[in-house]
Structure 1
């Protein structure tokens, strides 16, 4: 049994003494101990070496009183397992030499045996659970099919993903086939993560906010919902869609245990759109961690008071930025831990 089950109780909607807290990208680049490993090993070596991934996962747990750990990995390990050869290019980020832009290219993609292709992730889970010693739950994650399609078609990061969107609108048959292949692989991947011991899973839809509501429903949400439906009997599922406040009403009708929200929506509006039916997670602006620790504490307490302590998980509205001072990250976490009604 997990000693600190606050996060899991919040996902179930139980009454809690305070909200649980964790930070998206908490296992990462703002920590000096992470930077030391980054200087020794390239990005995907860190992802694909179970001992390194486990070590990076537990680094913030050793340092801060967090209520959950999230496995260090990357959303692009799924397309890599599908034979889509992503690299991490210096000063560019994700890079695909031959983007997927034809029906034939999509048809050539095979759905992998995830047990073999992603075995290093499952080994990392086993090692991480040993290191955590049942202190806090471990979260597994994957990217949404739409977000992964964006990278596969664009071939790199983008501010608007115009090429990816145009591909979907010009070649919907190819787009839906690619989305379904990603979805099927992701479901198998996340099921295996649960089997290996993660307590919950989160789906990151980083680029869902690029779409209109109608296009979101067609090209993103219906695939995310397949993942939710498949995983719901096995573990709690959290869905985080950056910029996707316009879909919250529909998302709240799903079996998702929690919905992540970013800083572009107020707590009151998020509660209204979801009808108080689902746990919410968020939504502190990561850039606000550049404020003074005193201001951070004040703003965090206000955020909790507005969301309410129950059916709520305190988090950022997106991943922590790499240049955030450690004392400011700690101020955010401790503000939640020390919050009193």
Structure 2
């Protein structure tokens, strides 16, 4: 059904297999820092108009690959599509973050939750298939979802938060309700990612964007355990090929070993964790993805390239590194600085492998 993959460097790195160079892709690589994205979004009329239209989602997913020789594409979508399909009413006001029309803060609201009918997310799966076809074997396609805990943060708060007061209050006061929310979320995320794999995704990533706001015991109980439940429910092979699973917890460097132990192929790191030290901590259990500070991309190109070389030196030679930012790329990033980064990662890592 699919054309042969011409560049499998990213997939091989995920599985800690030898590569000629360190592959690179960027979180939010299809996005607001590109003028062509802004033009497409203007045609779509809104963020959700963009994300729910197969042609637009395909177009913006491929836009960064037309500019930069990146080693993977990532589906253009949002982490909150699953709770939206639960009926919570997702919207994006201009200049604001996501917001739900309905929040989940009491027993009655929790009782109404259920794993959504995946048919409500058909637009996502159709986009995955469309993008995979449009890539024509150029690079692999990554599917993704928010983690059960991160989804719960938005579902309870109703929007983003500075202190997570509502969701933490529910967690501490009614842990039984929180566990019910998270169990539903975990099963929904596993079903959602499996449907993306069936539609053509060649790797999947779980974004635990808000795991790092939790105390140690709470992280292990309310975030990590449910991310593990997602991984346990994933199909890890499709058409005879391994489907790598990536887990990224922003602010989660102190739990690196614990995250590695729940079964991902790759653990994503933010910029607060040293790559070389992380590699020594996990050994050959998992590959590592990361972890340049996105703000480094505002420095002149030669400084960007120096930071890239420093990160590659920190990881060192050998397999198992996917270069990325430590979080999503800023909308204000100059595209020419991204070009300098990709060039430096590819060029320097090739030299590093043969030294």
TM class, shorter-chain normalised? over 0.9
What's the secondary structure of 1:54's corresponding residue? helix
1:329 corresponds to which of 315, 338, 346: 338
Correspondence list, 1:133-282, <5 A: 133-231=136-234, 233-234=236-237, 235-282=243-290
User: Which residue does 1:317 correspond to in 2?
Assistant: 326
| Residue 87 (1) aligns with residue 91 (2) | yes
Check conservation: 1:24, 1:315, Cα contact below 8 A.
yes
Inter-partner Cα distance in structure 2 for 1:57 and 1:91: 22
| Residue 5 (1) aligns with residue 14 (2) | no
Check conservation: 2:33, 2:332, Cα contact below 8 A.
yes
Correspondence list, 1:35-114, <5 A: 35-40=38-43, 41-114=45-118
Shift of 1:137: 0.1
Inter-partner Cα distance in structure 2 for 1:170 and 1:43: 35
Shift of 1:247: 1.1
Check conservation: 1:54, 1:127, Cα contact below 8 A.
yes
Inter-partner Cα distance in structure 2 for 1:125 and 1:7: 18
Check conservation: 2:210, 2:250, Cα contact below 8 A.
yes
Inter-partner Cα distance in structure 1 for 2:220 and 2:112: 26
User: Which residue does 1:303 correspond to in 2?
Assistant: 311
What's the secondary structure of 2:88's corresponding residue? coil
| Residue 124 (1) aligns with residue 133 (2) | no
> After the TM superposition, which parts of structure 1 deviate over 3 Å for at least 4 consecutive aligned residues?
none
What's the secondary structure of 1:118's corresponding residue? helix
Shift of 1:232: 5.3
Shift of 1:93: 1.1
Check conservation: 2:88, 2:101, Cα contact below 8 A.
no
Check conservation: 1:209, 1:242, Cα contact below 8 A.
yes
Inter-partner Cα distance in structure 1 for 2:234 and 2:31: 27
| Residue 290 (1) aligns with residue 298 (2) | yes
Matched residue pairs, number? 340
Inter-partner Cα distance in structure 2 for 1:332 and 1:33: 20
Residue-by-residue CA offset, 1:120-154 (whole Å, 9 max, x unaligned):
01111121112111100000000001001000111
- Per mean C-alpha deviation after superposition, the further-off stretch among 280-289 and 8-17 is 8-17
What's the secondary structure of 2:194's corresponding residue? helix
What's the secondary structure of 2:251's corresponding residue? coil
Shift of 1:308: 2.3
Inter-partner Cα distance in structure 2 for 1:158 and 1:108: 23
C-alpha RMSD over aligned residues: 1.1
Inter-partner Cα distance in structure 1 for 2:42 and 2:121: 24
Check conservation: 1:213, 1:246, Cα contact below 8 A.
no
